[in-house]
Amino acid sequence: MKILVYENTFQGFLTAIYEAFYSLEKPAKIISKFDYLRDFQLQLDTEVVEISVNQEKADKVYNAVLKKISTGTLSNLYYLFLSSDFDKGILAFYYLKFAFKKGKYTDNYLVDENVKPVHDIVWKVKQEKHRMKGLLRFKLLDNGIYYAAFEPDHDITELIAPHFSRRLGDQFWIIHDLKRLKAALYNKEEWIISDLTEKELPPLSAKEIEIQEIWKKYFKHISIKERKNNKLQKSFMPVRYWKHLVEKEE
């Protein structure tokens, strides 16, 4: 059984797909180095091939999808890469094998076994991206920077950063994915993605602590016991996100 392990970048993802297409033995799995080091259990007959990023090969896949299939398929490939699905690499491989046969009509085959799993995952990533635009909570740090921590299911930091660069364009802010130890850093002009740990952060400002207490009291005061609907609330605000919602903190 052959396993391709790629570096944790979109270019690494595309490079691995290129290698899979031109390999004599088709891989059983195509997984990120992050997943390989964290979760993967080797079997006795497993051959592990680590794939280094090759920009030329990545560009060939990117341009081939763009020219021979569609921008929609390319977008799906990117959202698939950002997902936390362990099998996303091999799903991408078979999705593209199918797509190079069907061309621009690929994504019309909604129930095909090569297309549907990809669409299902892409939908989940987009849904979480949409949710986080409303559920992300910014807190003012002692150094004047607004800070929002979250632990999304998928790697969506760079998907939501453009939204907040428009909404909070006049502030310095950080959006911090604690699960992946990465963050979007914004300086009132542009944002970048960088590695970041909680140890590097200053404490909350006194003003922020005061505002949080007021907000918690307000949230508790406006709730109407008789109209409480936990099931509906959890559909809009899944429990797994409550840890970083000020109004839900114990």
Average pLDDT over residues 31-58: 84
**Model confidence pLDDT, tens digit, residues 131-165:** 999 999 999 999 999 999 999 999 999 999 999 99
Most trustworthy range by pLDDT among 12-16, 233-237, 238-242 = 12-16
Domain ranges of the chain: 2-126, 136-248
Position 222, amino acid: I
- Cα separation, 10 vs 55, whole angstroms: 10
Give me the long-range contacts of 16-23 (CB less than 8 A, separation at least 24): 16/51, 16/89, 17/61, 17/89, 17/92, 17/93, 17/96, 18/54, 18/57, 18/58, 18/60, 18/61, 19/49, 19/51, 19/57, 20/93, 21/93, 21/96, 21/97
pLDDT at site 42: 65
Average pLDDT, the chain: 92
This prediction has a pTM of: 0.89
- pLDDT tens-digit readout, 51-88: 999 999 999 999 999 999 999 999 999 999 999 999 99
**Residue that the structure tokens 């428009």 belong to:** 166
Lookup: tokens for 4: 């391709």
Element (H, E) at 159: helix 157-167
Residue 238: pLDDT band (50, 70, 90) is confident
Structure-block tokens of residue 81: 């890469």
